[in-house]
C-alpha cells in the first residue's frame, strides 16, 4: 500500500475504535459528555470590545406566520453595560438560552405593542432570567395597557414560581420570590388622538444611555411604539410594527442603524389569493387585512434614504423568507431604491455599532 493508503486505513481504524469505546463504555460516554457540556456552557459570543457603543443580537426575526427555523419578534440591545430586550416573541427564549446570553443581567423588556408575536414569551423570559439569578423583578416597559399584560403573565406563572422557590431556595438564598415577578411600567407618549410627527418621550436616561419611545402607525393598534437608543454618539432605531410614515422618518433621522419590519405585500397577496381559491376564506381575509398596517421592503428602503440612515436592517419577515428563493422574491424591489447599506437579519445575527464612525461589525452567534 502507498503511504496515503496506510494513513487512511489507520485513521479509519482509530475512528472505529473510538466509536466502539463510546458505544460500549459508560466511562467513555461520561468523559465525552463532560467535554461537550463544558463547551456548551461557554458563551459563544465574547463580550463587545470597549470601542463598541451598541451591540444588537437578533433573537427573533419572524412574524405570526410559522417558520420552524425562526423565532418571532425579539431583539437584544446592549449599551453602556445595560441589557434591554425589545419584544419577546414565541420561541425567542430558546435562542437566548442556546446562546447563553446573560439573562440574569437583563435590565428590562421594551414592548412595542401587544400582538402575540411580540409578547408571547414574557412568561418564559421572566422565569428563565430568574432561574439564572436575577435579583429584582423584571421591568416591562410599554404602551398603556402593559399593566394588564404583565398582571396576566404574573398570575399564570405564580404557581410554578412558588413550587420552584419551595424546592430550591431552602436556606441557600436561591430564587427569592421577591424577584420572581414582572413589574409593569406604562410609557405615555404625546396625547391621545391623531398621531403627530413629533410624538416621542425619553423613557430612560442613565449613564449616557438614552432610550426614546415614539409612536408609530400600526393601524388599529393604538398606541404602538418604536424605540430609539442613543449612546456615545451612536444611535439605533427599532421600528416595531408599522405602516411607512413620517413618524419613523423623524425618529430615525441620522441614525446609524434602522431595524425595520418588512412585509412583502405582493407575496402576502399571492398567499391570500391561493387561500381563497382553496376555499379557506377566513385565512384569505385575515392575510389581506394585514397588508394595510405593515411596510414593504421598498417602502422601508425609501424611508431610510429620506432619514439619512447609515444601515438598514430588515426583520419581522411576513411571509417567512428563510427559503433563498422566497427571500429573493421578498427583496426584489429594494436594490432599485437603495442599492447598498441594507441587509436582511436572521436569528443569530449580531451587529456592533462602533463608538467611532468606522464600519459596522457583524457576525453570527456561535460561528
Ligand atoms: Zn408583529
Ligand atoms: Zn403587530
Higher pLDDT, 96 or 357: 96
Same domain, 133 and 12: no
Q: Say yes or no to pLDDT of 36 above 90.
A: no
pLDDT tens column, 163-172: 999 999 988 9
pLDDT bracket for residue 24 (50, 70, 90):
confident
* Cα 223 to averaged position of ligand 1 atoms, centre (Å): 14
Interatomic CA distance for residues 295 and 304, integer angstroms: 12
- For residue 24, the enclosing domain spans 3-40
pLDDT bracket for residue 359 (50, 70, 90):
confident
Same domain, 13 and 75: no
Mean pLDDT of 70-77: 98
Q: What is the pLDDT of residue 114?
A: 98
Ligand nearest, relative to CA of residue 263: 1
Total length of the chain:
367
Task: Classify 253 as helix, strand or coil.
Answer: coil
Whether the CB-CB separation of 197 and 250 falls below 8 Å is answered with: yes
Q: And the C-alpha cell for 86?
A: 425589545
Q: What is the pLDDT of residue 364?
A: 96
Same domain, 151 and 24: no
Same domain, 260 and 357: yes
Q: Is residue 47 part of a domain?
A: no
Helix-strand-coil percent breakdown of the chain, rounded to 5? 40, 25, 35
Q: Is residue 158 part of a domain?
A: yes
Q: Is residue 46 part of a domain?
A: no
pLDDT bracket for residue 286 (50, 70, 90):
very high
* Cα 118 to averaged position of ligand 2 atoms, centre (Å): 7
Closest CA to 360 of 261, 259, 260, 256: 256
Residue 72: its H or E element: none
Same domain, 14 and 107: no
* Cα 112 to averaged position of ligand 2 atoms, centre (Å): 8
Q: Is residue 316 part of a domain?
A: yes
Pairing of strands 342-344, 311-318: parallel
Specify burial of residue 168 (Cβ count, 10 A radius: 0-12, 13-18, 19+): exposed
Ligand nearest, relative to CA of residue 293: 2
Closest CA to 198 of 264, 145, 248: 248
Pairing of strands 209-218, 221-231: antiparallel
Q: Is residue 318 part of a domain?
A: yes
> DSSP for 73-108?
SEEEEEETTEEEEEEE-TTHHHHHHHTT--GGG--E
Higher pLDDT, 131 or 288: 131
Q: Say yes or no to pLDDT of 95 above 70.
A: yes
Same domain, 19 and 136: no
CATH of the domain at 339: 3.60.15.10
**Dmax over Cα atoms in the chain, in whole Å?**
85
Interatomic CA distance for residues 300 and 339, integer angstroms: 13
Q: What is the pLDDT of residue 196?
A: 63
Residue tagged 410559522 (cell numbers)? 66
pLDDT bracket for residue 115 (50, 70, 90):
very high
* Cα 118 to averaged position of ligand 1 atoms, centre (Å): 6
Interatomic CA distance for residues 262 and 255, integer angstroms: 18
Q: What is the pLDDT of residue 20?
A: 86
Whether the CB-CB separation of 294 and 65 falls below 8 Å is answered with: no
Reported in sequence order, the residue ranges of the chain that DSSP labels E, i.e. its strands, are 52-60, 74-79, 82-88, 108-110, 138-142, 182-186, 200-206, 209-218, 221-231, 234-238, 257-263, 311-318, 342-344, 349-354, 361-364
Instruction: Please tell me the total count of domains within the chain.
Output: 2
* Cα 119 to averaged position of ligand 1 atoms, centre (Å): 10
Q: Is residue 305 part of a domain?
A: yes
Same domain, 291 and 321: yes
Same domain, 29 and 175: no
Same domain, 151 and 32: no
Q: What is the pLDDT of residue 15?
A: 87
Question: Which strand ranges, in their side-by-side order, compose the sheet holding 200-206?
Answer: 200-206, 209-218, 221-231, 234-238, 257-263, 311-318, 342-344
Q: Say yes or no to pLDDT of 198 above 70.
A: no
Q: And the C-alpha cell for 217?
A: 402607525
* Partners of 311 in the β-ladder: 257
Same domain, 81 and 110: yes
Query: Which residues are tagged catalytic?
Result: 117
Q: Is residue 31 part of a domain?
A: yes
What's the pTM value of the predicted model, to 2 decimals?
0.92
Q: Say yes or no to pLDDT of 159 above 90.
A: yes
Specify burial of residue 139 (Cβ count, 10 A radius: 0-12, 13-18, 19+): middle
Q: Say yes or no to pLDDT of 194 above 90.
A: no
Whether the CB-CB separation of 105 and 77 falls below 8 Å is answered with: no
Same domain, 182 and 91: yes
Same domain, 178 and 32: no
* Cα 200 to averaged position of ligand 2 atoms, centre (Å): 19
pLDDT tens column, 137-151: 999 999 999 999 999
pLDDT tens column, 227-270: 999 999 999 999 999 999 999 999 999 999 999 999 999 999 99
Residue tagged 385575515 (cell numbers)? 286
3-state secondary structure 170-229: CCCCCCCHHHCCEEEEECCCCCCCCCCCCCEEEEEEECCEEEEEEEEEECCEEEEEEEEE
Closest CA to 228 of 340, 99, 84: 84
Amino acid at each position: 500500500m502507498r503511504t496515503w493508503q496506510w494513513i487512511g486505513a489507520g485513521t479509519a481504524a482509530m475512528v472505529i475504535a473510538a466509536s466502539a469505546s463510546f458505544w460500549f463504555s459508560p466511562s467513555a460516554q461520561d468523559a465525552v459528555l463532560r467535554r461537550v457540556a463544558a463547551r456548551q456552557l461557554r458563551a459563544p459570543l465574547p463580550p463587545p470590545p470597549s470601542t463598541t457603543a451598541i451591540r444588537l443580537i437578533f433573537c427573533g426575526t419572524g412574524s405570526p406566520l410559522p417558520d420552524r427555523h425562526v423565532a418571532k419578534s425579539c431583539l437584544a440591545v446592549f449599551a453602556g453595560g445595560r441589557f434591554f430586550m425589545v419584544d419577546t416573541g414565541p420561541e425567542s427564549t430558546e435562542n437566548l438560552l442556546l446562546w447563553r446570553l446573560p439573562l440574569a443581567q437583563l435590565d428590562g423588556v421594551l414592548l412595542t405593542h401587544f400582538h402575540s408575536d411580540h409578547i408571547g414569551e414574557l412568561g418564559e423570559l421572566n422565569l428563565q432570567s430568574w432561574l439564572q439569578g436575577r435579583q429584582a423583578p423584571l421591568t416591562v416597559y410599554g404602551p398603556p395597557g402593559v399593566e394588564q399584560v404583565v398582571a396576566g403573565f404574573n398570575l399564570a406563572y405564580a404557581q410554578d414560581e412558588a413550587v420552584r422557590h419551595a424546592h430550591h431556595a431552602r436556606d441557600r438564598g436561591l430564587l427569592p420570590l421577591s424577584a420572581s415577578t414582572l413589574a409593569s411600567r406604562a410609557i405615555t407618549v404625546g396625547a391621545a388622538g391623531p398621531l403627530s410627527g413629533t410624538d416621542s418621550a425619553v423613557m430612560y436616561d442613565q449613564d449616557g444611555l438614552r432610550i426614546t419611545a415614539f409612536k408609530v402607525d400600526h393601524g388599529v393598534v393604538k398606541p404602538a411604539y418604536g424605540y430609539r437608543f442613543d449612546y456615545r454618539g451612536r444611535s439605533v432605531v427599532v421600528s416595531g410594527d408599522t405602516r411607512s410614515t413620517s413618524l419613523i422618518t423623524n425618529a430615525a433621522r441620522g441614525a446609524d442603524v434602522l431595524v425595520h419590519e418588512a412585509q412583502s405585500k405582493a407575496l402576502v397577496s399571492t398567499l391570500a389569493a391561493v387561500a381563497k381559491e382553496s376555499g379557506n376564506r377566513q385565512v384569505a381575509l385575515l392575510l389581506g387585512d394585514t397588508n394595510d398596517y405593515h411596510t414593504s421592503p421598498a417602502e422601508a428602503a425609501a424611508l431610510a434614504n429620506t432619514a439619512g440612515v447609515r444601515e438598514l436592517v430588515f426583520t419581522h419577515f411576513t411571509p417567512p423568507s428563510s427559503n433563498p428563493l422566497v427571500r429573493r422574491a421578498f427583496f426584489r424591489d429594494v436594490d432599485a431604491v437603495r442599492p447598498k447599506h441594507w441587509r436582511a437579519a436572521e436569528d443569530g445575527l449580531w451587529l456592533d455599532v462602533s463608538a467611532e464612525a468606522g464600519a459596522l461589525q457583524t457576525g453570527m452567534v456561535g460561528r
